[in-house]
Structure 1
């Protein structure tokens, strides 16, 4: 009946001499690209029409950062480190009134400024680590146009965070989903470009099923399985970070974290070089002089690529430090502890 009434009103309007017209409008600032739905109403008779349009990416207002995420890799504990980033106003004028951080170890300055459309300026992001563990920060940029976030992270590769920040946002319990329908899994606590593993299970006693182990962007579209259950569970896990000196993940054995590869450094922790003994005679000479030295197994570069470097006693005990920041050479008691934990063989 409603459709018939609208057709009648359109016929009546035409009969009364109304000419077709073109309606144009100008939308306000658009902060997101996507479909915008529009409803038009003819005031004379209440006739309604609907349409939609796609906001082009070139018209979306935003603050664009370069780099898109800032990282502080292998920082010195307790020492403030700074990096420069550039922010540019796109397709609108922006007045930034404040920038807040969810992690006190990170700071960004200045915290208020004005940018006309197309203008850019430099900001300073700083990080003062309390330890070598992974740290994450989300900056909230308060402004007059579009909600904006910027992300930073820091720490030694392979080191676990002291404070865990990764958590699942949706679903988080209590939702009802239709089997076979689509939903979106969201999370926070890591930078958007960091990969996470997503899993679900249909009951407490069922095994976890991997959805993907390469999800990123803080959200992932998921089709609800066609298995009826009132105990669906989902979880998100950070991807294993590789060691500082190789592509292998560090490993936890008997409650301790061990580097994922053999040590392969040619400098002490303070930057001083370690002598490279390339022959048996040079190795003996270093020992005679009580001088730290390293070599490859059988003095073979190809074997060094597999096993890393071998160090003499004096390199191990040099006060300048052989192991990188955040690591140490295992003590005799730690070797015994590991041996006993693994069965004493």
Structure 2
């Protein structure tokens, strides 16, 4: 018995029964009048969502059946032009990554000013939120950063995601960069950090960009799981989701904690967020049972039309990032910005008033 794009829904059902799929799964597909041409277009994201909402094991069986027909996973939006033996552009140079890792492991996080090396993702797009000098940036260690760190770590294992919201320019990105860097110091953590989702969108190969961020999260801890995975260089949605399924199993088996940071998520339009690989944030990581123990951190600005529906629908904890600098934090800012070191106390008060305590 064979199946083609021209097969009717009844023929699809008969073929799936021949492949030993369970009756409930076959009925769910038959109820949607899934013919051959539509069956081969089914993706993991769609099968995990209503009206199907299949379990991961069932989805694997269906996708295996699709691959048997097509000889490959279904092509995902955004992956066009990638593959066919073409060597993808590498975003993270191995020498730079090694330098970054060496510098980060020497960082002291207990002082009033933290000097952080530029992360691979923050220097690999046309956009950056930081004023790097010699691939490093000095950041004031703020009280609100400590509160946000406690907020994130406290929610691990209790919630699928947390939402960091605040006006533009208040320091969310600097605090998240510092927190992601600090979390990497724990050998049991796997920290994926994308500093600017708009920059991710603008990369020539978003799948490759994400996979290098994922690989970097594991390599920093001396973990080769992603780098050695057979799907590491496959740039299709279903292949990526299967890789992430395996990553989740690896984290569970090894008792690892995964923190996935997506900063400037409001840089993606509503339509962008429906396309792979950007859709994995809302359409996979926070809904797949495989990732129920891990935590996704999404940051977005409050003063635009951006709205994270999944955060509202799932009652994500929200951290409102609105605090200005304290007097001591202003002094540390002056120490970093040496051109302002000679400001008089009256000048400092004027800066506070003009910037609403956020210089």
Instruction: Give the TM-score taking structure 1 as reference length.
Output: 0.23
Structure (1/2) with the larger strand percentage: 1
Larger relative contact order (C-alpha < 8 A, sep ≥ 6)? Answer: 2
For the pair shown, the structure with the greater C-alpha radius of gyration is 1
Structure (1/2) with the larger helix percentage: 2
Instruction: Give the TM-score taking structure 2 as reference length.
Output: 0.22
